[in-house]
Structure formats: C-alpha cells, structure tokens
Amino acid sequence: MDTMIETPLARLSDDQLDDLARELDAIHDEVFAELGDRDRRYITSMIELHRRLAVLGRVLLFGARYKPAWVAGTATLTMAKILENMEIGHNVMHGQWDWMNDPYIHSSSWDWDSASTPEAWKHSHNYIHHTYTNIRGKDKDLGYKIMRIDPHQKWVPIYLGQPFYNVLLMAFFEWGVAFHDLDLDAIRKGEKPKKALERELKGMARKAGRQIAKDYIAYPLLSGRKGFKSTLTANFASNVLRNVWAHAIIFCGHFPDQTYTFGEDEVADETRGRFYVRQLLGAANIEGSPLFHVISGNLGYQVEHHLYPDMPSTRYAEIAPQVKEICERYELPYNTGPFLKQWATVQRTILRLALPGGRPRPKPGPYRRDATQGADPAWHPESPERRRRGAAASGPARAAGGVRTALPADP
Amino acid sequence: MAERGARPRVPAVRRRLLRAAGVFFTPLLPDDYLELIDPLWSSRELRGRIESITRETADAVTVTIRPGWVWEGHEPGQYLRVGVVVDGVHHWRAYSITSDPGRPDGFISITPKLVETGKVTPYLVRHAHPGTIVRLGGVEGSFTLPDPLPRKLLFISAGSGVTPIMSMLRDLARRDALRDVVHAHSARDAQAVIFGDRLRALTGRHSGYRLHVQHTGESGRLGPHDLDRLCPDWREREAFLSGPGDMLDAMTAHWEGHGDRSRLHLERFQPVIGGDAQGGEGGAISFLTSGAEAHSDGGTPILVAGEQAGAALPFGCRMGICHTCVGRLCSGRVRDLRTGKVSGSEGEMVRTCINAPEGRVEIDL
C-alpha cells in the first residue's frame, strides 16, 4: 500500500541513527545499573495498596444494598482493579520487575484480574505489539483487527459500525483483549496449529470461569439473599469502569493524531536506531498529575514505555527529560498532550475513518522546549551528556534543511 | 522463573481450606493476602524470621532463624539454601547448618563468614537484623555422619569449614556420643577461631573429645604431614574433612596413597562444574522458546552457553541444587558436568546449570 506521509525516519543518516541508538541504550543501562531498594519498595507497597483496597472494597460491598456502601465499595474496588491491571499486572508481565529475582513478582509467574491468560497476552502484547509497533499489517493492535484507525487501512462496509462497537469495546475491553490475544486472524489463515488454539481456548475458558465465579457468584453469595443482586451489580460496575478506563488510556497510546504508522518497506532491515525512532514516532504520551500516571500504569509515558518496555514504570517520569532532550537534538517529535485532548482526537479518528477515505492528520514538528525556559547548553551537539553516552558520529544532529513535517495549527 | 523456597508441609486441612477460599481471590491466592499480615504464614514457600545475630569472630556471625513452619529437620553436616533481599534483589546462597537438629526451640542457625567481595555475607554480617525475613530452600548434602556411628572419628577443619562439623559435634554431644573423637582445626589466629569457646567447652564436658587448634599465623596450615603427630591412628578412623579446596586435595591424595580413601568424607562448598573442555564432545544448543542458538565446548554448562549467546534463561544456584534452571529436553543427550554421566531422553527435565550438551540438543526454554 502506498505511504501517504513521510516520517522523520527518512531524514536521519545512518551515523546519526547509530548515535541515537547509543544514547538511548545508555539511558537504559544507567537506570538498570542503579535499580535497587527504592524500586522494590515502590512495587511491593503498590501491591500491598492494591490488596488493601481490594479487601476494603469487598467488605464495603457486603452492605451493597445500602446506596452509600454500594457507591463507596464500587469506587474502592474499581480503583483496586485499575491499579492491579495497569500499574501492577501490565508492568510485571512486561518483566519490568524481573531484575528483583523475586519468584512471586515475576513475569513468568504473574497472573492478573483480567480475562486474558498471561501466556496469550504476553505473546500478543509483549512480542507482537512491542516488536512490530505501528507497522501496518504486522502490529495487530493497530485497530485490533476490528477497527479502521489509520487511513492506510482499506475501507470495508463493516467499519460503518465501528462507532457503535467501539462503545461496546469500552465496556467489555478485557474480553475484547482476550479474544484479540487468541489471534483469530492467524487461526483463519491456518497459521496457528489447532492444538495450540485448543490449549489457549481451554486456558481462557478456565480463566473466564474463575473470574465470573468470583465477581458474579462467590462474592454476591457472601452478601446473603438480600445483598446478592446489589453486590453483583457493584462488581459488574467495577469491571466496566475499569474497562472503560483501560480502553481510554490504551487507545491514547498509539491512536492520537500525532502518531505515525509504518509500511513494511519502511522497516525492512531495521537497525536499532531506526527501531527506536519508530517507537518514538508511533507512541504518544498523556500529560497528567502523578496520581494520573499511577492509575494509568505510567502509560502516560507511552513513549518511554515503548523505548524501554522492560524498565520499571516509575523510572519513566525520571528519564522523560533526557528523552525529550534527545528528541530536541535529533529534531524528532515528542508526542504528548493532555488526556482529554488525546482522547478526543482518538474518538474523532474512529468516527471519521468509519467512512471511506481520510488522510493522515498533520504531525507535530521536532520537539522544542518552551522558549521561556531559555537556551540550555545541555543540548549542544558537543554536550558532555552526549559524549558520556557514547555518541560518536561526526556532525551535529541539528542539521538544517531536513524534511519538515507540517506543524499542527495552533488551537 | 526465579528460585523459590522449599514447599512447607502444611496440614492437609489447612491446605484444603486455602484451596477452597481460592475462589474469592483468583487469580491470586489467599496466601497473597495472608502474607501481608505475616510473611511466615506462606504455605507455598518456607520462610524464616531472624531471631538473633551473634558475633562469633571479627568477620563471622551466627544467624538464628525461626522457621515459619515446624522444622522438618536436617542431618548434621548438611547445608541449607537461604534467600535474602539485598538492595532490592533476591540472592540465594548455601550455608552449612550449624545448629543441632534436636534443638528444643525448633530454631536453626547458620554461621556465615564475611566474603568482602560477596553480596550476601556482607549483608548478613553487617546489615541484617532480628526481624528480617529470609527464604529457606531445600536442605541438601551428603556430608553426614554414618548410621550406625563409627567407633572412632576424626574431624579436620579449617577456617569456616568448621561450620558443618559444629552441627555434628552438637548432635554427638546431645546424644552423649563424643566417645572417641579427634578434632584438628586450623585458623589464622586465636581471634579467628569460629566457635572457639564452644569447642573448648566441649573438651571440658566430654573426655572423649580431643581438640587441636592450630594457628596458621604461627605454625602454618594443617597438612597431611601433621596427621601422624596429631592423630597417629588416623588410618583407623572415619575421617570428616571440611575446608578450602587445596587442603581437601592434599588430604585426599594422602588418604589415597597411605590410607583408605573410602573412610574419608569431605565437604566441597563449590562443586567443580565446567571448565574441562576435554570432558565431553559438546554441541549446538537450540533454545526453542527464546529462539536462541548457542554452542558449548563440552565443558560449558547449557545455561552459561545460552547466556553467552544472549538468551535470558532462568537460573538459581548454578550448582545443581535448586532446580530453578530446569528446561525440558526435546531432543539430544546431556552430560552431567559433576559426574561425567551422559543421559537424556525426550521430555526429561534437565538442570541447565550442571549439564553440557553431548551432541546437538534442543531445550524448551
């Protein structure tokens, strides 16, 4: 398929890309060299907080037939489920905490409060999505195979329905993800052995059975005959609210206007430097308070997460200034925006691309720090930072006259 | 997968209750919540709480641990794998148990000596404190007293090699079986003798226990040449030897040349693994899950070869004890680097840390 927009990838020389890779590798190595007690304390206290909230929420919901208890219990349980999925489950299963060598906080043993089995999710997310990020036809998270989220995707009439099933997907996101992880497409094409499918379906059925038994049978029964229904509706509401939140955050990761998608020809024989640039261009951050970042599993630092999926999530905020500085020097965009704005652009795209046609939205230009901060010599091409991280190629990254992409109109 | 503690023997009723309660906690376990109240309540791995840490010498301490579940016992002379968290990372090390299995309070103790360049002993000697939670792995080791007890015993130890022997001596003392025991121990100087006071106290209480302590600073190391002087009837004794590798080698050669090798029992802290490329034929290794391809020269364990090829593989003790590194052998045969034995059948779980490929192998890791 023809590419409708050229990416900044075309502008960087091989030497510059090698430098970029060295610099970004160095940030990773520096963080991993200093991981320690502080990081362990964070994740263990986060896990503890989740369990306390879960217990509190469940206890409150024993009285769910009284309105205030229903509201307080649902809110607490929702928060517990959000932390468990976003800041704990997603990140532990990425292997972000494997360095602790803790058998119980480890990507190989973790399971989460979601319909997906860890094995299927780790394959479709950690491997397929994080490796082939935003490559059209390879990244199956690009529209999740059921939506047209990129104008390069061929339109078919079924997409007329996407504004409606998007709303359904919001509410039942965990089930959508679970079916998505099965990779029904590969099954249809016969790429997946029948035995593997059988095993995965069995695993999913077992997992689904337990999840349903817990939220919709066991806890409602504990609330007694009179409390059964209200506890059940509260648990249902918690799951739906968690799903809506997860859907919103995850859709803001790759589908806002700022992000690029890539054709397979653009990524043939990809070097480490080009891989990093693709991750930078394909992801978008969300701006928010520290609390916002915790309850979104630090996926508001989607850019940093895609550069370093195995780095403990708490470190993303700390390295963000260094990543921005690199973007500035190499004249690369650093995609970010406030939550509601990012979310709205995603929803607009879903509505627009339900119809045929469409063009890529204008993309941001190279990242520039606020002029009010004044010129900081840190990003000078000869900066000690750059030398320390092993950038060696001659010539500054700030070459003028490169291909410029259109800046979005000021709002 | 990271190394776990031993599975405690939890009463069946309790285990059934925990399983039934699982429906409320899935995908977590009731344990995940109970452990927040007390980490020792874990029913999936054995943990212990440090009760006291007492200084033995300038650089050795005795760590006394209360196990979370009833201690299932050990044989004197065996060692225990202990897991501690140092700067956020779990580390496992094996230590000889220095306590007597018949301790009435059910506690156990280990006596680590500081290894300045290490990770774990500096933590245990300087930073751990009463209340610290540790993980307790399997009890292992064949350096134990025979049953029935031999009539005459000889213990030879050097430095921290005295630790497994201390457990034996305590056990013998409790059973009033220190009837004809010679113990030759060496340490740098008087201050460096671990358990010095306790060993001397034993000589006072048990006339059958004869102790010789040699200070290497003045008299040199204990060697085969000292045997006839210290214990003229050493050939008639069942001998137990624990100390540094060169002492073990010298004594083993001596027993082979001048005594009965089968009467000499010894403790090597580090089994000799790898490094002997002549040992086997080696071969190519395919790691099926990670997709990595590696090659071993026949002296390099599968684990090390895989790591050198960039694969992230599970590992633990790296000495064949903890079974953390196991992978399913899908094809080929492997050679145990400790014994040289070649084995392997399809579907067998092999420990990658002590096995090298014997020809081409495929491992599901």
Output the average pLDDT for chain A: 89
Q: Half-sphere exposure of A239 toward its Cβ, with a 13 Å CA cutoff? A: 18
| More confident site: A111 or A8 | A111
What was the pLDDT predicted at B267? Answer: 76
Contact A218 B89 (CB under 8 A): no
Higher-confidence position of B117 and A347: A347
DSSP letters for B41-89? G-SSS-EEEEEEEEEEETTEEEEEEEESS------TT-EEEEEEEETTE
pLDDT given at position A281: 96
Side chain identity at residue A266, one-letter code: E
Question: Domain B283-364 belongs to what architecture?
Answer: Roll (3.10)
Report the percent of chain A where pLDDT is more than 90. Answer: 75
The pLDDT > 70 percentage for chain A reads 90
SS (H, E, C) A133-160: CCECCCCCCCHHHCCCCCCCCCCCHHHH
Residue A164 has pLDDT above 60, yes or no: yes
Q: Would you place residue A2 in the very low, low, confident or very high pLDDT band (cuts 50, 70, 90)?
A: low
pLDDT at A198: 86
* pLDDT tens per residue across span A167-194: 999 999 999 999 888 877 777 777 777 8
pLDDT, tens digit, for every residue of B262-288? 999 987 755 555 445 456 888 999 998
Chain B contacts of A55, Cβ < 8 Å? 33
Residue A228: pLDDT over 60: yes
Closest residue in A to B44 (Cα–Cα): A104
Burial class (CB in 10 A: 0-12, 13-18, 19+), B162: buried
Q: Is B20 on the interface with A (CB under 8 A)?
A: no
Q: Which residues of A touch B (CB under 8 A)?
A: 35-41, 48, 51-52, 55, 58, 98-104, 106, 108-109, 111-113, 207, 210-211, 213-214, 218-219, 222
* Cβ within 8 Å, pair B90-A40: no
DSSP assigned state of B132: -
Q: Cβ of A51 and B1 within 8 Å?
A: no
pLDDT band with cut points at 50, 70 and 90 for residue A396: very low
Computed over its alpha carbons, how large is the radius of gyration of chain B? Answer: 23
User: Which residues span the domain enclosing A340?
Assistant: 8-33+118-225+233-352
Cβ atoms B73, B54 nearer than 8 A: no
The closest CB to that of B23, out of A52, A99, A218, belongs to A218
Is residue B312 a contact partner of residue B282, using CB atoms and an 8 Å limit?
A: no
B88: closest chain A residue by CA:
A37
From-to residues of CATH 3.40.50.80 in chain B = 153-267
d(CA A236, CA A217): 11
What length is written for chain B? 365
Query: Could you tell me where in chain B the CATH 2.40.30.10 domains are found?
Result: 12-140
For residue A35, the chain B residues in CB contact (below 8 A) are: 88
Contact B82, B135 (CB under 8 A): yes
Residue B72 has a pLDDT of 86
Q: What angle do CA B340, B341, B347 make, to 5 degrees?
A: 130
Q: How far apart are CA A116 and CA A365, in angstroms?
A: 38
User: Within a domain: residue A338?
Assistant: yes
CB–CB of B27 and A106 under 8 A?
Answer: no
Alpha-carbon distance of A355 to A366, in angstroms, equals 31
**CATH fit for domain B12-140, picks 3.30.300.30, 3.30.470.20, 2.40.30.10, 2.60.120.560:** 2.40.30.10
| C-alpha to C-alpha distances, B197 to B182, B193, B194, B204, nearest whole angstrom | 17, 9, 8, 11
Whose CA is closest to A250, among A286, A200, A304?
A286
Say yes or no for a CB contact (<8 Å) between B27 and A38: no
Least confident span in A184-193, A341-350, B136-145, B195-204: A184-193
Quick check: is A402 in a domain? no
B192's CB contacts (< 8 A; 6+ apart) are: B57, B58, B159
Distance CA B164, CA B166 (A): 5
Contact list in A for residue B26 (CB cut-off 8 A) is 210-211, 213-214
- pLDDT digit string (tens) for A202-213? 999 999 999 999
Domain with CATH 3.10.20.30 in chain B: 283-364
Question: Rounded to whole angstroms, how far apart are CA atoms B145 and B92?
Answer: 26
B168 φψ region: left (φ > 0), alpha (ψ -120 to 50), beta (else): alpha
Tokens for A379?
A: 């990003």
All residues of chain B having their beta carbon less than 8 Å from the beta carbon of residue A104 are 32
Total domains, chain A: 1
> Which value does ipTM take for this structure?
0.85
Q: What are the beta bridge partners of residue B361?
A: B285
Instruction: Flag whether pLDDT at B363 surpasses 50.
Output: yes
Quote the mean pLDDT of chain B: 91
pLDDT at A189: 79
Nearest Cα residue in chain B from A106: B1
Q: How many interchain CB pairs under 8 A, A with B? A: 68
Cβ–Cβ under 8 Å, residues A122 and A129: no
The rounded Cα A15 to chain-centroid distance in angstroms is 30
Q: How far does Cα B149 stand from its chain's mean position?
A: 23
Q: Are B40 and B8 in contact (CB under 8 A)?
A: no
Grade residue A292 by pLDDT with cuts at 50, 70 and 90: very high
- Residue B319, classed as helix, strand or coil, is coil
Q: Cα–Cα–Cα angle for B20, B25, B26, nearest 5°?
A: 90
- For residue A262, the 8-state DSSP code is B
**What tokens appear for B267 in the block?**
């403790």
| HEC string for B173-212 | HHCCCCCCEEEEEEECCHHHCCCHHHHHHHHHHCCCEEEE
Q: Among 3.40.50.80, 3.30.1490.100, 2.60.120.620, 1.10.10.10, name the CATH number for the domain at B153-267.
A: 3.40.50.80
State the amino acid at position A94 in one-letter form. Answer: H
Task: Give the closest of B3, B24, B88 to A218, CB-based.
Answer: B24
